[in-house]
Structure 1
Amino acid sequence: MPSLPDLTAEQRADIRQACGFACVRCGVTIYRYLALPDHSGATLLCPTCHGLVEEGRLTATQVQSFHANPVVRQRHFARDRLPFSADLPQLIVGGARVLRDTPIPITLDGEPILVFAPPRRTNGATRISVRLGNSEGEPVQVIDGNEWMPTNGSWHFLLRGDRYSMMAARGDGLAVLRIVARNKIAVEHLRTTIRGRRLEVTPDWLEIDGKRHVDRIGSGTLIGLEM
């Protein structure tokens, strides 16, 4: 069951709609596209579940079964614990204020570190993009509009309770996003170095090149803080 990197935008949109905009097995809204075993199309699996397929711990038959009945469409699934919201999320990052209407809270050296966008369809999930430095300090797109981009094991993804965690296999790249509510996200911890500039962020402060700041990110603007 290979991944499908060459899908058209229309095909990707149809797959997302069919799968409920999330991993069909666990409901995580960060995903990769995977060809179905019967060649009837493709499905969505989060990086963790995708890894189970690659390890042979999740069979083709099981994947087909999950695709036929995605967990997010089942009555017991708690959508409130994951970012399924038609609105741009409120953000808890870098200070006491809750940021509203701020799609890009931080850019570093011209690189948008985090980008948040409402779903293309009202029943979809908040679109999250994450861009961090690799072990050499070069910017890498780790997540692009909820799609998990790394395919070579250079980055790892974990769902830990209500937290989406992304970690570099080498270097200090790290981003932990806590889902406070379906329309509120806290940047629990972010750490990266891009072209020699080091950034660290928590809900309470941000530190750039060794200098700490509080409440510096603007609210209600396209880019909250350019550094």
Structure 2
Amino acid sequence: MPSLPHLTAQEREAIRQACGFACVRCGVTIYRYLGLPADARDPGGATLLCPTCHGLVEEGRLTPGQVNSFHANPVVRQRHFARDRLPFSSEMPQLIVGGSRLLRDTPIPLTVEGEPLLIFAPPRRSQGATRISVRLGAPDGTPVQIVDGNEWLPDDGSWHFLLRGDRYSIMASRGDGLAVLRIVARNRIAVEHLRTTIRGRRIEITPDWMEIDGKRYIDRIGSGTLIGLEV
């Protein structure tokens, strides 16, 4: 299934709406825009699949017919789907990070050398999903955008994504880049573990503390501001 990087904003919005703002197979809100396999029922089009489900397609474990069936009836629109376990919320999420009190109205909890590691935003539409962006360091320390407004960008195997229970896990294939976000509730997200080096600055974050260049801090991230902390 080909990636579709050159879609217009209007085309992307239409695809998100048709697919329920999530992977059509599993409901994960981190996804890629992909061309649908053509078959007799549908000559083509576009859909959303998370990196894990797209990997199943690439391995031949999901057939074109199955993909088209999921697209025709996305799992998030089915009555049994438990939306509360994933970040479907019309509000800005509250954040649990770095030993600070619950952060509210803080889209960017931390920037490093001007690079925002995480960005959170409410959905473009009230029925959509919390928009999550992730930016971490490559093995050489250069910043890499991995997720941009829920869109999974890597297509070369340099980063991996997994849904583990209520956790979104992003891991580098080389080096120690890591981001684990736990979905506590639809509008509450904990930064369970973030670890990276960007431009020589070493960062590690849990819900209880934050280390910057080997020094540990608690309650340094401000609430109710665009950027909680700049280092």
Short-chain TM bin:
over 0.9
Percent of residue pairs bearing the same amino acid type: 81
Kept in 1: contact 2:100–2:221 (CA 8 A): no
List per-residue Cα deviations over 1:33-86 (Å, max 9, x = no partner).
Answer: 111112431000000000011111111000000000000000000000000000
Whether 1:69 aligns to 2:73 is yes
Q: CA offset at residue 115 of structure 1?
A: 0.1
Q: Secondary structure at the match of 2:216?
A: strand
Match of 1:107 in 2: 111
For 1:178 and 1:185, the matched residues in 2 are separated by 6
Q: Secondary structure at the match of 2:168?
A: strand
Match 1:222 to one of 205, 223, 226:
226
Match 2:88 to one of 73, 80, 84:
84
Kept in 1: contact 2:35–2:47 (CA 8 A): yes
- Write the mapping of 1:1-227 to structure 2, written as runs, cut at 5 A: 1-38=1-38, 39-227=43-231
For 2:153 and 2:110, the matched residues in 1 are separated by 21
Q: CA offset at residue 2 of structure 1?
A: 1.2
Give the letter aligned to residue 16 of structure 1.
Answer: R
For 2:74 and 2:124, the matched residues in 1 are separated by 20
Q: CA offset at residue 96 of structure 1?
A: 4.3
Q: Size of the alignment, in residue pairs?
A: 227
List per-residue Cα deviations over 1:178-216 (Å, max 9, x = no partner).
Answer: 000000000000000001110000000000001110000
Gaps of 5+ in 1: none
For 1:194 and 1:6, the matched residues in 2 are separated by 28
Give the letter aligned to residue 9 of structure 1.
Answer: A
Q: CA offset at residue 219 of structure 1?
A: 0.2
Q: Secondary structure at the match of 1:99?
A: coil
TM-score by length of 2: 0.97
Kept in 1: contact 2:100–2:220 (CA 8 A): no
Give RMSD over aligned pairs: 0.6
TM-score by length of 1: 0.99
For 1:64 and 1:41, the matched residues in 2 are separated by 10
